[in-house]
Structure 1
């Protein structure tokens, strides 16, 4: 196979809408030159199965056939790749579909609040809600990343121009914050205010059940909330520590997160290798690694085979890549993940 000029990194930028005009031309010229089978980008470590590459290629074709709503501008800040090299293209495909199918964009004006779509000039205030039954990732203006659980929503300024990078949250989300000591990052979630300089943490804010929690994965955060008398109370959290507001007393409590029999939290990066494994075997390993339950809606899914390497990736990223390879989808129901698809013959 002759060397082609398009890398996974460039395809990632193209599908994420971060290419320059010259890069767009390069990708589309390369795509138009593909033969019926298509040629892989430079790195062929995982998409060595024609069926898997065909699915990614189909997503590229769909993206080019439906360009409405996409803008291509030079990237202003470096964002973290979802997967290294070989799987960046799959990440971009799935995240793009998540944006088009599961996000609602609002722009706030003085007089009204109306829907906007990708590609429309950004408003001063942005509100994003995950309407899917799966976790979806969103990038903030400073390059910070947020993984929104189903039903979660965030609101933030179009540009972080004040002394703080402020985000308000309803629901549950995981944050990976780009360091900036001169402009701290703050998350407002009900009664809780979480302040960080650069770290990763999970926030749960459920006003209906009066459930407010902050759990730290890396770095250090400060969490504050008013006590019953109105005075501000605060705690400092380190990795594997959690802050909770007691629904009865209103007191802010700090506790250690227990290790669950060697299992890791869903947001903890892990490395896994699957060499021609069945999806049934993959599910079994994921359940042993993470503290959750995975169910196959169709037993035939267990027959599908997977060859992949995940290097320090989180559960949502692993699920996205895995379901892409077996033509399946997943949804979350509490602490249970349900995979749905046609499956494979024995």
Structure 2
């Protein structure tokens, strides 16, 4: 049985079950998720090992065939000129010897080049665990890719201690160490972000849309097959905008939105339309709303609506004079916000609609 009390960074790295869990392949998800609750003193070693394992799987950046061909031609051209200068080839009578020489030279260079690549791969693989701290330092600024090919959420801890719960069939690309003026990551799929507040803004790129925050909790859904990209804010404030907004005079198109808690943005991929709405199930943000039900005894509707507005952090627009004489007696507890609004509107002969991330309440009109 493993003695986790003695585990150090290298022990976590060499633990096959831990490596599988970090990479989303393990079968002990519940165990590793609750590991730090049982061994809180191992948090530093746990997180360092987790970051190293992720950093060891860099997103590949292969050269295209055209780039390889171009570089090869440049290399051969320079090498040929050098051989001509050093070997003194001149005149048609020496072309045959020159061609044989170049063929032998080219074959030798190719063999040496292949050997160097093979040895580099061999030694980098052998030294990966032994040189963990030095290797991790050298990866600063390079992009790491984490894919979740499992059927459960995968927790990813970033270098700034921000956390991402990566949904199944999703992938996240991010620097092993954040540097510069912004903390930038790239998401394909769905991720729930809990961002640590720092001086540098945190940027999530999803196709043609960018989500920018300083420190907050939000969910981004951007699967390639979906026609929409959505951002739902759980707490704090989020800025959402198009990656390359066009600044055209007299253009009425919205280039960016500011979202608060319980608000959401929807980006239509086909036409680039960006709109603000509310999350599917708004949650109370005020502590009082969580601790006790809403109990009203002949209370004017405007008072109730203002209390709901404060509790959920969502602007509620209405004509106070129209509803000042409408008194409500009700107990609102476990209902969702929309169910509460349905009950209040039914009792006051009103209707509501969601417009631009707000709730607008008006009197029913009868014909």
When normalised by structure 2's length, the TM-score is 0.43
Structure with the higher fraction of residues in strand conformation:
1
Structure with the larger RCO, 1 or 2 (CA within 8 Å, 6+ apart): 1
More helix by share: 2
Q: Which structure has the larger Rg over C-alpha atoms?
A: 2
Q: TM-score, normalised by structure 1?
A: 0.45
